[in-house]
């Protein structure tokens, strides 16, 4: 992938096509603002040396977006107040993911060594709804919770450019597996971003650059949530333990390595769906088995309209 500029907004592609553990970065020329410093370590070193980065913004707290933040330890960091706590303390970060003991042992050294975690506290908070003037460009800060509680998108109105962060329009679909992630908020944020009607949408991963993405692309991205729910409900036609649900691999389809990484993702996303279905009285947990609530599912269609099949 190549760097692209949209007015003063420069798209810096991440290594390996911006696939995890990398992401795409943005650089606002003139203002010297770097957003999500996890694209390419070598490129970011050159960017700072040649063009003078003045501050760093984060769309959210995840490690694949702060991976090279250590290169800018002496510069101001701006992030939402909701997403600031895990950046200040490694143990809080581990807590916010909801790792079990084995996963903490896997992730703690990885976060320190590969992702260069260093405790940071923001110099300023970015707040949804504010508009910041940076020289000849204004930036509208958009609160888009769900993926994380304080996830932010940025809209450069004069240039019709939206940076949607980890609402990335990939085929995998949205992530909402953290301790404070929320399925309903994720859906609402996807709908909000689609309504902006940007001419260019820049995302944190994979394709990264979309020129006037059609409504169908946004719909398909959001519909992954409903597709996962449908597969889970089909599975629960027979009562299942959590272990049996995870072995069905609704999220990742097949065993993948490293096992601890993908097993975690399968577990936390499925638990979010199970909790969501239980709150809506569509699924019941009895004797450590999850099953469909037959009374609820046999009700008139209006009674289960909150499944939001449209995504």
Residue 300 pLDDT? 54
Residue 237 pLDDT? 96
Cβ contact 306:223 at 8 Å: no
Q: List, for residues 41-54, the tens digit of each pLDDT value.
A: 999 999 999 998 99
Residue 299 pLDDT? 58
Strands (E), the chain: 4-6, 9-12, 25-28, 33-35, 55-57, 77-79, 124-125, 131-134, 137-143, 152-156, 161-163, 200-202, 209-211, 283-286, 289-292
Residue 297 pLDDT? 61
Last residue of a domain, one of 171, 193, 213: 213
The total of structural domains in the chain comes to 2
Query: Which residues neighbour 91 within 8 Å (Cβ) at sequence distance 6 or greater?
Result: none
Token pair for 9? 């907004």
Token pair for 118? 């260093």
| Same-domain status, 118 and 246 | no
The residues facing 9 across adjacent strands are 6, 28
| Same-domain status, 202 and 107 | yes
Q: What is the pTM of this model?
A: 0.93
- 3-state SS assignment for residue 280: coil
| Same-domain status, 163 and 35 | yes
What CATH number does the domain containing 248 carry?
1.10.10
Residue 154 pLDDT? 98
| Same-domain status, 83 and 20 | yes
Query: Which residues neighbour 125 within 8 Å (Cβ) at sequence distance 6 or greater?
Result: 78, 79, 80, 81, 84
Residue 76 pLDDT? 98
Q: Do the domain assignments include residue 25?
A: yes
Average confidence score pLDDT of the chain: 94
| Same-domain status, 137 and 284 | no
| Same-domain status, 227 and 288 | yes
Residue 213 pLDDT? 80
Cα-Cα end-to-end distance for the chain: 30
Residue 303 pLDDT? 39
In which domain, by residue range, is 74 found? 4-213
From CA 240, how far away is CA 50, in angstroms rounded? 58
Q: Do the domain assignments include residue 218?
A: no
From CA 51, how far away is CA 160, in angstroms rounded? 24
Last residue of a domain, one of 168, 190, 213: 213
Counting as low any pLDDT under 50, the low residues of the chain are: 301-311
């Amino acid at each position: 992938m190549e760097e692209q500029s949209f007015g003063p907004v420069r798209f810096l592609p991440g290594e390996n096509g911006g696939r995890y553990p990398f992401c795409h970065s943005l650089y606002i020329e003139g203002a010297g603002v770097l957003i999500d410093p996890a694209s390419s370590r070598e490129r970011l070193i050159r960017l700072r040396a040649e063009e003078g980065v003045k501050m760093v913004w984060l769309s959210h707290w995840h490690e694949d977006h702060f991976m090279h933040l250590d290169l800018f330890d002496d510069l101001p960091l701006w992030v939402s107040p909701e997403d600031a706590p895990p950046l200040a303390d490694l143990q809080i970060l581990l807590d916010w993911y909801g790792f079990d003991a084995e996963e903490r042992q896997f992730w703690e050294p990885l976060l320190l060594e590969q992702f260069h975690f260093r405790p940071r506290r923001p110099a300023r908070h970015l707040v949804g709804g504010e508009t910041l003037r940076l020289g000849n460009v204004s930036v509208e800060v958009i609160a888009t919770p769900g993926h994380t509680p304080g996830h932010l998108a940025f809209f450069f109105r004069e240039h019709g450019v939206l940076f949607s962060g980890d609402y990335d329009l990939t085929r995998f679909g949205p992530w909402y597996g953290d301790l404070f992630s929320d399925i309903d908020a994720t859906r609402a944020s996807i709908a909000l971003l689609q309504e902006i009607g940007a001419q260019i949408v820049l995302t944190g991963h994979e394709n990264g650059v979309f020129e006037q993405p059609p409504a169908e692309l946004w719909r398909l991205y959001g519909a992954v949530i409903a597709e996962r729910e449908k597969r889970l409900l089909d599975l629960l036609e027979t009562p299942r333990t959590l272990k049996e649900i995870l072995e069905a691999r609704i999220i990742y389809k097949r065993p993948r390595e490293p096992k601890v990484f993908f097993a975690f993702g399968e577990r936390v996303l499925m638990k979010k769906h199970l909790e969501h279905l239980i709150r809506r009285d569509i699924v019941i947990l009895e004797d450590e088995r999850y099953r469909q609530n037959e009374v609820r599912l046999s009700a008139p269609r209006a009674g289960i309209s909150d499944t939001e099949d449209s995504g």
